[in-house]
Structure 1
Amino acid sequence: MTIQVGETLPTAVLNYLKDGVQSINTADLFANKTVVLFAVPGAFTPTCSAKHLPGYVDKLDELKAKGVDTVACMAVNDAFVMEAWAKHQNAPADIMMLADGNGAFTKSLGLELDATAFGMGMRAKRFALVAKNGVVSQLFVEAPGEFRVSAADHVLANL
């Protein structure tokens, strides 16, 4: 079942690269702050690279001005891929690039995408959520093939 507004985010471990692979527990990531987490089906994929991540790079200061403490990008990729993609996209260090390598967190959210027909395996649906102290206050899940509601502009307009 898909997570809903008003529900507490499940606990899982995500990874990122900083002096080697580091782990962060979602309970710690979301505790006592406002977090915008957006997920992409895959690093280096066309819409993700041309629109999704760049939108958050462009709107980072505006999101922070609206009270967002942390902006995080997540994909069912490994931490090395996420770091390489961040460098390729000139993403600032202020955007956390989180790897849900086995898709466990994505699955616990009920937001997994079966992309096996495209040779990509299980991935995350394209979505964005706003969480306050670990509770989902807003959730924007894209319809298949769409890119509108999880865009930085849309999230910003709804804060």
Structure 2
Amino acid sequence: MTIQVGDHLPDVELQIMGEKGPELVRTADLFGGKKVVLFAVPGAFTPTCSAAHLPGFVVHVDKIRDKGVDSIICTSVNDAFVMDAWGKSQNADEIIMLADGLGDFASALGLTQDRTANKMGIRSQRYAMIINDGTVELLNIDSKGLDTTSAETLLAAL
């Protein structure tokens, strides 16, 4: 079942890149007591994700934070090394690049998609959320394109 507005995020262990390598983090720690914009992409370094989705958040990070957002988090079913390299290549220093290497978070949210026909395996759907103290306040899912999950759309909703 897909997570809904009003639901509390599941507590899942994921990874971010730390100074000494991948570090484990819990979603409860990332989202608890904070207002967070979370967006997910099907894959790091993929065309739409690299050309438009992540760059939009990089460009608008200050405007989003000015709306009272504590953190902006990008997640994908990729490992911490890939997410870190992608973030660096996109100058996403102000965005937490959250690795969901096994797809546990996407699965727990009910937001996976099967890309095995394209040799990509099980991936996250493209979605964006506004989360307040671990509770989903806004959930937008895009099956194609960036109509409802762009930085501009989230900025307007804040």
- TM-score, shorter chain, exceeding 0.5: yes
User: 2:2 matched to 1:2?
Assistant: yes
SS state at 2:72 partner: strand
Q: Return the alpha-carbon distance in structure 2 between the equivalents of residues 131 and 114 of structure 1.
A: 26
- The residue type paired with residue 149 of structure 1 is T
| Structure 1 counterpart of 2:43 | 42
User: 2:108 matched to 1:108?
Assistant: yes
Q: Return the alpha-carbon distance in structure 2 between the equivalents of residues 31 and 123 of structure 1.
A: 25
- The residue type paired with residue 26 of structure 2 is N
Q: Return the alpha-carbon distance in structure 1 between the equivalents of residues 35 and 13 of structure 2.
A: 19
Equivalent residue pairs, number: 157
| Structure 2 counterpart of 1:125 | 125
Pairwise CA distance, 1:146: 2.3
CA offset digits 1:13-42 (Å, max 9, x no partner)? 110111211111001111111001100000
CA offset digits 1:47-97 (Å, max 9, x no partner)? 0000000000001000000010000000000000001101111112x2000
- The residue type paired with residue 36 of structure 1 is V
- The residue type paired with residue 67 of structure 1 is G
| Structure 2 counterpart of 1:60 | 61
Pairwise CA distance, 1:99: 0.3
Unaligned runs of 5+ in 2: none
- The residue type paired with residue 18 of structure 2 is K
After TM superposition, list the pairs within 5 Å mapping 1:6-155 onto structure 2.
6-19=6-19, 20-92=21-93, 94-143=94-143, 145-155=144-154
Q: Return the alpha-carbon distance in structure 2 between the equivalents of residues 155 and 119 of structure 1.
A: 31
RMSD: 0.7
Segments of 4+ moved more than 3 angstroms: none
Q: TM-score scaled by structure 1?
A: 0.97
SS state at 1:128 partner: strand
SS state at 1:36 partner: strand
- The residue type paired with residue 43 of structure 1 is A
